Amino acid sequence: MINRYLQARIRSFGYAFKGLRVLLLTQPHAQLHALATVAVLIAGKILHLRRWEWVAILLCIGMVWMAEALNTALEFLADEISLEKRERIGKAKDVAAGGVLITALISVAVAVLVFRNHI
Distance CA 30, CA 38 (A): 12
68 is catalytic: yes
End-to-end CA, the chain: 55
Catalytic residue among 53, 68, 75, 80: 68
Q: What 3-state class would DSSP assign to 116?
A: coil
Q: Which are the catalytic amino acids?
A: 68
